[in-house]
Chain A
Amino acid sequence: DTGVSQDPRHKITKRGQNVTFRCDPISEHNRLYWYRQTLGQGPEFLTYFQNEAQLEKSRLLSDRFSAERPKGSFSTLEIQRTEQGDSAMYLCAILRRGEETQYFGPGTRLLVL
């Protein structure tokens, strides 16, 4: 058990629709990360939070993407006007207190038709 749950596990949507994913950390942690993984690639960093503050965004996070962590616990990642290129696995990871290793959730697999 990595201490992270994600919902939904799978999402199929049509191009142009908005989608929202949720990450719920179970374990004590101080940082929460979002990554995206496309077929044949390793995960790529999107953004991360320390408590409620969004500290860094990668250039992959276009203006159609927005992430929030309203109370410093769960986080949401929204994609507006989805495109076929958004099809990927979206992974959430946490940094547990006192450790320097990230633990990943099971991911949300998005397919944009």
Chain B
Amino acid sequence: TQLLEQSPQFLSIQEGENLTVYCNSSSVFSSLQWYRQEPGEGPVLLVTVVTGGEVKKLKRLTFQFGDARKDSSLHITAAQPGDTGLYLCADGGNTPLVFGKGTRLSVIA
């Protein structure tokens, strides 16, 4: 059974700071997704990465996929209060997704 570990579990930072969260898998990802979830809502897709070594940028968010396709990081530059939420990584794509427990980020103004 695949296990996804995310770290840190909690992160509280001041507005304007940079941060990185991590996702590590016990086995090779087939397709890696990052989602953000706000309280009381469903997860919202941020990005899908498939190719080892791939880097994708989405405004202030930078996603890196490890060469061996077993790890990923999400870097946020100049965090804003609107970035607050639960960041989840998941594997699966068109198969049932396997999720990590998430990193709960709080950005304080």
A interface residues with partner B (beta carbon < 8 Å): 2, 4, 6, 31, 33, 35, 40-45, 48, 56, 58, 91, 93, 95, 100-107, 109
Partner of A102, one of B4, B40, B97, B102: B97
For window 62-102 of chain B, which residues contact chain A by CB distance below 8 Å? 88, 90, 92-94, 96-102
- Considering only CB atoms, which chain B residue lies closest to A40 in the complex? B101
B residues contacting the other copy or chain, number (CB 8 A): 23
Do A48 and B101 contact each other (CB < 8 Å), given the known contacts A42-B88, A101-B33, A106-B42? Answer: no
- A-B pairs with lowest CB-CB distance, top 7: A42-B99, A104-B42, A45-B96, A100-B93, A100-B94, A107-B42, A106-B42
* Cβ A104 vs Cβ B43 within 8 A: yes
Identify whether the interface residues of A are mostly helix, strand, loop, or mixed: strand
- Does B44 sit within 8 A of A, measured CB to CB? yes
Cα of A106 to Cα of B44 in the assembled complex, Å:
9
Nearest to A107 among chain B residues (CB) is B42
B101 lies within 8 A of A41 (CB): yes
Check B51 for interface membership: any CB of A closer than 8 A.
no
Q: Shortest beta-carbon distance, A40 to chain B, in Å?
A: 7
A109 touches B40 (CB 8 A): yes
